[in-house]
Amino acid sequence: MTERSIAPEGFEGYLRDWKMSPALVVGDLVFLTGMTGAGPEGTVNPDPVVQIELAFERVRIVLEAAGARMVEMTSYHVGLQDHIAAFREIRARHVSEPYPAWTAIEVQGFVTPGTLVELRVVARIEGKTE
């Protein structure tokens, strides 16, 4: 089974700086690296809504580049109860039936200070057969 990296334009830093793929395709499955709401050069807006929207936008870009659909998501949160309502509302705009499985976990922190949310996603390339 072959593996290939997915690195859309704007995600080159993952490969260059961190030596990790934004996503790795294995068969018909796509495993995304955790996507946060950190902006260019690691800037972080303190507004959780801005961070959540950006994290989902980054997931969307990678999934589109892979031609894949989300099947499972784990969201990691600093201050989960402080923004879970906003998270659920934003998430609802980014998923469709059949809805992906989802687990939300409270954590103490992330690599980039100020980050409140990170999304771990597994997706499937639709219509791909091997």
Q: What is the pLDDT of residues 26-63, one digit of tens each?
A: 999 999 999 999 877 778 999 999 999 999 999 999 99
Local structure of 50: helix, strand or coil: helix
CA-based nearest residue to 78, from 43, 123, 44, 101: 44
CA distance 121 to 75: 9
In this structure, the number of other CB atoms found within 10 A of the CB of residue 12 comes to 11
Whats the size of the chain, residue-wise? 130
pLDDT of residue 129: 54
> What CATH topology corresponds to 3-125?
60s Ribosomal Protein L30; Chain: A; (3.30.1330)
Q: What is the pLDDT of residues 11-23, one digit of tens each?
A: 888 878 888 889 9
Backbone φ and ψ of 6, nearest 5°:
-115, 120
